[in-house]
Structure 1
Amino acid sequence: MHKPEIVLLGGPNSGKTHYAGQLYGRLRRCSGLLQLRQDQGTPTDLSPFEEVFRCLSSGRAANHTTAGTWVEVLLPLIDKLGNALDLRWPDYGGEQIKIVFERREVPEEWRQRLINADGWLLLIQLQTETVYLDALDQLTERAKHSCDSNARASNWDANARWVELLQILLQVAGLGTVERLHAPRLAVLLSCYDEIEANDEPPPNVLAKRLPMLSAFINSVWATDSLSVWGLSALGCRLEKDSNNEDFIDGPENQGWVVAPEGGEPDSDLSRPLAWLLETP
């Protein structure tokens, strides 16, 4: 049995929690490319997913994962071809990604996961990313008024920050960039895609327009068949902690969608990016 590992990369408010909960709903409903495997041989604790799903079933947003949290949920999966796999899904507070970037240090537990990972899943919410029209001038001016590391990190243009972070992670994983990478695969999910005016453009084009340096970097580092960019709307709309959205009360697993890298109509199968990430190129 294949037992793949993934590295889930996403900062605070990137949509990791809601995607995990909605993905669990899809897997449980057994309607997509991946399904939960029903057997007695793999003990599982799916409570982190179930808690998110319960919140969504009440029509309200789930709490974000706390900063110090790190857990791994074992997902016993089966694909459409009948191949069984046990996927370890990481769940952690998005602030940990900020700390890695600010300190230029990667904890040992992260290093081992980066080395062993079959795929990297990167979540970016474009609407919350800061981009400067003239980044160098802006950063120079702001640096004059900033001394602490948190202030310096917040002043980075999102293009430079994501490229710098990926370079750190690639180095820690022992991955060079002289030749384009075929493994681990990289899937980029542009979260809250329902809030983006994409004008029917495919997600890779949207990323290239919003974060051109990041787009150019990942396309230069990863081989074409080992990189994909998806639009993700895990909920299909905005939920608040005090919401009471009856559409979700009727079944949160019926909400949310992805847009494939080639564009086209939204697809309700939220497991598609994960299935692509785990397949052999």
Structure 2
Amino acid sequence: MRTPELVLLGGPHSGKTHYAGQLYGRVRRRPGLLRLRNDRGTPSNLSALEEVLRCLEEGRAAQHTSADTWAEVLLPLADAHGNAMDLRWPDYGGEQLRQVFEQRAVPEAWRSRLTQAEGWVLLIRLKSETTYPDALSELTKRLENRSDTAKRAVEWDANAYWVELLQLLLHVAGVGQIDRIRRPRLAVLLSCYDEFEKAEPGKVWAPPRQALADHLPLVSSFIESNWATDVLSIWGLSALGRPLERNGAAETFIDEGPEKQGWVIPPEGGTPDPDLSRPLAWLVGA
């Protein structure tokens, strides 16, 4: 039985927690390319995902993973052909990834997983990324409002942030950039994709790589020039299909269940696909 390991790379408020909970709900209740194996019952280390799913069943957003959390969830899965695999899925506070960037230091727990992982899952929430299309205009604003300068000076342009962070992580993982990268495989998930446009019935979406190229052109160029084409995929992801409030009670989640909510836009574009396991199935070759 295979035991593939993935590294999940997502900062604060990137949708990492909700995707993990929704993924668990999908493979358990509405299997697609991947399903949950129940041959030995539900492992105790899935309790964190159970809690996320419980919040969604009540129609409310789950709490974000605390900043100091580091745990490893083991998902016992099988693919559509019945091949069994245990997928190791990290659970951590998104602030830790930002600390890696700011301190230029990678904890040993991260180092070993980056080295061993077959695939990386990169979550980028385009709408929340800071960019400065006109650097001179931005500099003028900072000079006019000096009281706000200290705060804004530490906000990197997201293009520079992600490119430098990826270079740092590749270096730690011992991955060279002379030849096109073949391992780790990379799945980029553009999270909260419903923030762009409503997923109206029958709507055909453009390939998500276009959205990445439009919003973060340097990130797009870096990824596509360093990874081999057949080990890179870019997806649109809406884990919930709509925003949820922490104290809300969305009726569609209560009445229909969270397993009927959320979707992905495949790399080639097209209509939304409810199988949230598709990006992971692609990563592990299922």
Q: TM-score, normalised on structure 2?
A: 0.91
Pick one of 251, 267, 274 that aligns with 2:280. 274
Aligned ranges for residues 59-98 of structure 1 at < 5 Å?
59-98=59-98
Which blocks of at least 5 consecutive residues in structure 2 are unaligned? 199-203
Compared with structure 1, are the counterparts of its residues 28 and 99 closer, same or farther at alpha carbon in structure 2 (3 Å cutoff)?
same
Distance 2:43 2:254 in 1: 29
Distance 1:129 1:39 in 2: 42
CA RMSD of aligned residues (A): 2.3
Distance 2:39 2:239 in 1: 28
Is residue 216 of structure 2 the alignment partner of residue 211 of structure 1?
Answer: yes
Distance 2:265 2:22 in 1: 15
Which blocks of at least 5 consecutive residues in structure 1 are unaligned? none
Distance 1:2 1:137 in 2: 53
State the Cα distance separating 1:84 from its structure 2 match: 0.7
Distance 1:278 1:169 in 2: 20
State the Cα distance separating 1:39 from its structure 2 match: 1.1
1:162 aligns with: 162
Aligned ranges for residues 137-156 of structure 1 at < 5 Å?
138=138, 152-154=153-155, 156=156
Distance 1:274 1:60 in 2: 25
Distance 2:158 2:136 in 1: 13
State the Cα distance separating 1:181 from its structure 2 match: 0.8
Compared with structure 1, are the counterparts of its residues 110 and 133 closer, same or farther at alpha carbon in structure 2 (3 Å cutoff)?
same
Distance 1:84 1:168 in 2: 33
1:29 aligns with: 29
2:126 aligns with: 126
- The one-letter code sitting in structure 1 at the alignment partner of 2:163 is V
Q: What whole-Å deviation, never above 9, does each CA across 1:26-79 have from its counterpart, x for those lacking one?
A: 010142100001112884421010000000000000000000001111100000
Pick one of 215, 225, 242 that aligns with 1:237. 242
Distance 1:132 1:240 in 2: 30
Worse-superposed segment, 132-141 or 31-40: 132-141
- 2:90 is paired with a residue whose SS is strand
Distance 1:133 1:174 in 2: 33
- The one-letter code sitting in structure 2 at the alignment partner of 1:227 is L
- 1:45 is paired with a residue whose SS is helix
Pick one of 226, 244, 261 that aligns with 2:231. 226
Worse-superposed segment, 188-197 or 213-222: 188-197
Instruction: Note if contact 1:30-1:36 (Cα within 8 Å) is conserved in structure 2.
Output: no
Q: TM-score, normalised on structure 1?
A: 0.93
Distance 2:149 2:133 in 1: 23
State the Cα distance separating 1:135 from its structure 2 match: 4.0
Q: What whole-Å deviation, never above 9, does each CA across 1:83-117 have from its counterpart, x for those lacking one?
A: 11111110100000110010111001100000000
2:201 aligns with: none
Instruction: Note if contact 1:26-1:253 (Cα within 8 Å) is conserved in structure 2.
Output: yes
Q: What whole-Å deviation, never above 9, does each CA across 1:181-236 have from its counterpart, x for those lacking one?
A: 11110000001101114983210011000100000000011000010000000000
1:260 aligns with: 266
Distance 1:147 1:238 in 2: 31
Instruction: Note if contact 2:30-2:259 (Cα within 8 Å) is conserved in structure 1.
Output: no
State the Cα distance separating 1:246 from its structure 2 match: 1.0
Compared with structure 1, are the counterparts of its residues 69 and 238 closer, same or farther at alpha carbon in structure 2 (3 Å cutoff)?
same
- The one-letter code sitting in structure 1 at the alignment partner of 2:12 is P
Count of aligned pairs between the two proteins: 278
Q: What whole-Å deviation, never above 9, does each CA across 1:115-146 have from its counterpart, x for those lacking one?
A: 00010000011010011113488479969x69
Worse-superposed segment, 34-43 or 16-25: 34-43
Instruction: Note if contact 1:44-1:73 (Cα within 8 Å) is conserved in structure 2.
Output: no
2:181 aligns with: 181
